[in-house]
Structure 1
Amino acid sequence: MGTPDFAVPALDILLQNGYDIVGVVTATDKLGGRGKKQLLQPPVKKYALEKGLKVLQPSNLKSPDFIEALRALKADLQVVVAFRMLPEAVWDMPPKGTFNLHGSLLPRYRGAAPINWAVINGDTETGVTTFFIKHEIDTGDVLFQARMPIGPDETAGEVHDRMMHLGASLVLKTVKAIETGDYQLAKQDGAQATMAPKIFKATCEIDFSLTTKEVHDFVRGLSPFPAAWTTLDGKTLKVMRGRPEAAAHQLAPGTFESDNQAFIRIAAKDGYYYLDELQLSGRKRMNVRDFLNGYQFG
C-alpha cells in the first residue's frame, strides 16, 4: 500500500527478492499537468502495472466492495509505505499483521511531514522506522530502525531521495524477520514523542527575524517543495537554495540588498541570507545571476 515515488523502491525490493505481491493498493488517478487537464497515475500504480501486478485504487477505504476485494487477495502480510491512514478493518485483516515504514526515528516526528521538520529543526541525523500499525497514528510497536545523517546544506528533497532507498532495505529486513518470526517488538516512549504536522503555504513564509542558520534550515527543509517564500514587489518569491553569512548590520530583518549582477541577500537577525536559487511568481525557477539578468533592484 503506497502512492508516491518514495514507496516504489520498497515494492521493487520485495519483488526482486522473490516475494509474491498479491496486490497493490494505491491512490486514485488525479488530474494534473498544465491546466490540470491530464489524468495522472500515481508512481506506485505505474510501477505495478509495468510488473503485471493487480492494482486496487479505492476512493473509500471503508467501502464494503474494497474490503471484500482486499480480503479476496488473502495476503499474509500488508506493507504500508507513504499511504493514507487505514481503518482497523484493513490493517487488522492479514494473519501476520500490517506494518508501516515511517521516515523518522520514532517516536520523533510522528505525522505527515517528518523529513521536512527534521531538516527545518536543524537535526544532523534522521532515519526510518518500521512498526505494526494500531489505532493512533505512528504509535505502534517498533520492529526495526535504521539511521542516516543529514548534511548541513542538504535539502529535504535530497534527504527524501536517499531515505527511500534506506527505507526499502529496512522493509526487506522487516518482511524477512516477520516471515521467520525472528524479531522483538519495542514499545514507543510517548514522553519522547514529537510531531511533524502537515505543511501548508502559510507555514512556509520565511521569518527573517530568526538567525541566518535558522533561516537556512527553514529553506532547506522546504526545498524543493512546497518551498519557503517571502515577498518581493508584492509577489511571492520562493527560495529553493541559499547560504547564511554572519555579519553585523543595522538593517531591518527582511531588507533586500543586491549588486544587480551576482547577489541578492536579505537581512536576518545576525547577518545575511544569500539567495542562490529562486522563483518569482509567474516566472520559472532560476539561479540568482539569471534572475538578475531580467530584474533590477532600485
Structure 2
Amino acid sequence: MGTPDFAVASLKLLVQEGWNVVAVVTAQDKPQGRGRKPKPSPVKAFATEHQLPVLQPPNLKSQEFLETLRGFRADLQVVVAFRMLPEVVWSMPKMGTFNLHASLLPDYRGAAPINWVLINGETKTGLTTFFLQQEIDTGNILFQEEEPIVPEDNAGTLHDRLMHKGAALVRKTVEAIAGGSVHPKAQDPSKAVHQAPKIHKETCEVDWKNPAVQLHNLIRGLSPYPAAWCWFGSRMCKLYRSQLVDQSKQGLQPGEFTTDYQTYLHVQTGEGVLAIMELQLAGKKRMEISDFLRGNTATLKEIGLP
C-alpha cells in the first residue's frame, strides 16, 4: 500500500526478489497538467507495468473494497507512504500490517519527517518499520536504521537515500516476519521529542527576522519541494539553495539585500547574513543566482537595490 516514488522502491525490490505480491493498493488517479488528464500514481504505474492487481478505493471502509481486499488472502500487508488505515484493514492479515516511516520513531511522528529533520538542523535521522495500531506512528518497532545528515543535504537528496535504504529495510522486515524471527518492542514515549506535521504554505514563508542558520535550514528542508518562499517586491520568489556568509553587514535591517550584480545576492537576517544561491521568480524558470542577477534589473530595484 503506497502512492509516491518513495513507495515504488520498496515494491520494486519485493517484486524483483520473488515475493508474491498479490495486490497493490494506491491512491486514485489525479488530474494533472493543462489538459487535466487523470494520471496514475507512481505505484500504480509500476504495478500496471508488472501486471499486479491494483485497488484504488475512494473509501478504505467501503464494503466493496474490504471484500475485494479480503479475497486476496494476503498473509502480510506492507505500507509505505500511504494514508492512515482503519483497523478493519490493518488487522486483516494473519501476520499483521507494518509501515515504513522515514524517521527514528518515536521522534518525528507525522507526515513530513524528512522535511522537519532538516528544518530543525538535525545531523542524523533514520528509518523505522513498525506494526500498525490505532494511533498513528505509535506501533511496536520491528527494525530501525540510522542515517547521517550531511551539511550539503536537502529534502531531495535525503529523500532519495532514505527511499533506497528504506526498500532494503522493508525487505529485511518481510523476511524476518515470514521467518518468525521478529521481536517487536514498544516505543519509548520519552524519545518523542519532535513532531513532523504536514507542510503548509505558511510553513514555507521566510521571515528575515529569524537567524541565518534557521533560514538556511528552512530552505534546505523544503528544497526542491514545496520550496521556501519570500517576496521580492511584488513577486513571490521560491528559494532552493542558500549559503551561510561569515560576515555581518553594518547598518542593514533584516530583509535588506546587497549584491555585486554578478556573483552574489546577500540578505541581512535577524542574526547573520545569508547568500541566496538558487531561486525561482513567479512565472520564470529556476536559476542560479548569477543568471538571475544578469537578467532581472527591475526586480533588484524592487527589493531596494540601486
- Equivalent residue for 2:21? 21
Change (3 A) 1:36 1:241: farther
Contact 1:247/1:270, CA 8 A, preserved across alignment: no
Give the TM-score normalised by the residue count of structure 2.
Answer: 0.95
SS at match of 1:239: strand
- Partner Cα distance (1:53, 1:93) in 2: 20
- Equivalent residue for 1:104? 103
- Partner Cα distance (1:90, 1:183) in 2: 22
SS at match of 2:57: coil
- Partner Cα distance (2:258, 2:91) in 1: 58
- Equivalent residue for 1:292? 293
SS at match of 2:219: helix
- Equivalent residue for 1:268? 269
- Equivalent residue for 2:142? 143
| 1:65-144 alignment, distance < 5 Å | 65-144=64-143
- Equivalent residue for 2:196? 196
SS at match of 1:241: strand
CA displacement 1:91-145 (0-9 Å, x = unmatched): 0000000000000000010000000000001111111000000000000000000
- Partner Cα distance (1:153, 1:65) in 2: 48
- Equivalent residue for 2:303? none
Give the letter aligned to residue 201 of structure 2: K
- Equivalent residue for 1:9? 9
Contact 1:208/1:254, CA 8 A, preserved across alignment: yes
- Equivalent residue for 2:284? 283
- Partner Cα distance (1:192, 1:43) in 2: 34
Structure 1: which 5+ runs fail to align?
Answer: none
- Equivalent residue for 2:259? 258
Moved more, 249-258 or 153-162: 249-258
SS at match of 2:88: helix
CA displacement 1:246-294 (0-9 Å, x = unmatched): 3123211111222222211111133211111100111111111111222
CA displacement 1:5-59 (0-9 Å, x = unmatched): 00011001111111100000000000112x2612211000000111110000111
CA displacement 1:128-178 (0-9 Å, x = unmatched): 000000000000000000111111121011100010000000000000000
Structure 1 stretches of at least 4 aligned residues deviating more than 4 Å after TM superposition = none
Give the letter aligned to residue 273 of structure 2: Y
- Partner Cα distance (2:282, 2:189) in 1: 42
- Partner Cα distance (2:149, 2:11) in 1: 25
Contact 2:248/2:268, CA 8 A, preserved across alignment: no
- Partner Cα distance (1:238, 1:38) in 2: 27
Q: Matched residue pairs, number?
A: 297
Tell me by how many angstroms 1:217 deviates.
0.8
- Partner Cα distance (1:6, 1:36) in 2: 26
| 1:230-245 alignment, distance < 5 Å | 230-245=230-245
- Partner Cα distance (1:120, 1:240) in 2: 13
| 1:145-184 alignment, distance < 5 Å | 145-184=144-183
- Partner Cα distance (2:234, 2:139) in 1: 46
Moved more, 148-157 or 2-11: 148-157
Give the TM-score normalised by the residue count of structure 1.
Answer: 0.97
Contact 2:206/2:228, CA 8 A, preserved across alignment: yes
Contact 1:246/1:270, CA 8 A, preserved across alignment: no
Change (3 A) 1:134 1:209: same
Tell me by how many angstroms 1:211 deviates.
2.2
Structure 2: which 5+ runs fail to align?
Answer: 301-305
- Partner Cα distance (2:169, 2:89) in 1: 23
- Partner Cα distance (1:149, 1:159) in 2: 9
Contact 2:155/2:223, CA 8 A, preserved across alignment: yes
Task: Check if 1:214 corresponds to 2:218.
Answer: no
SS at match of 1:186: coil
CA displacement 1:208-250 (0-9 Å, x = unmatched): 2222221111100000011011100121111000101131232
CA displacement 1:180-232 (0-9 Å, x = unmatched): 11011111112321210001011101122222221111100000011011100
Identity level (%): 53
Change (3 A) 1:36 1:187: farther
- Partner Cα distance (2:109, 2:246) in 1: 33
SS at match of 1:96: coil
Give the letter aligned to residue 289 of structure 2: V
Give the aligned CA root-mean-square deviation in angstroms.
1.0
